[in-house]
Amino acid sequence: MTQPRMRVSAVTIGAPNPRALAAFYERLLGWSVSREEGPKPGAPPDAGWAQLRPPPGEAGPTLNFEYEADYVPPVWPSVAGEQQIMEHLDIGVENLEEAVAWALEAGATLAEYQPQEHVRVMLDPAGHPFCLFPSPV
């Protein structure tokens, strides 16, 4: 069988409040929330979903944020028996120091454990790690 053409079009991230997390990444990345829905009748107020897309002409996957009723933030670094990291975003930046400052201002926190000299592990408001690293952008 010949492999069919495939392309990753989106990354979906579970969150306790997906619309708030999408707003964080909107600030952080300068992308726009392209769609969002609030909770269905009878669901908690934080339920729903949101979608973030890169600006026109800029490459990147769509980021989807979906409500997880029993969300537990991952532990970084991973610890046996604790909630494991299911995904993380790698974000290339021109200036690592400026990008860390911007991420902190947007609402991220700097992870206590930093395993690499030229990469900064940050935590978004829901506790998902994401990495900032120097790269031509």
Per-residue pLDDT tens for 8-17? 899 999 999 9
Same domain, 67 and 2: yes
Q: How far apart are the C-alpha atoms of 27 and 21, rounded to whole Å?
A: 10
Domain count for the chain, please give it.
Answer: 2
Same domain, 37 and 94: no
Domain that holds residue 117: 88-137
Per-residue pLDDT tens for 76-95? 999 999 999 888 999 999 99
Beta-carbon count within 10 A of 23 CB: 19
pTM above 0.75, yes or no: yes
Same domain, 66 and 1: yes
Is 85 in a helix, a strand, or coil? coil
Mean pLDDT of 121-128: 98
Token pair listed for 107: 């609402």
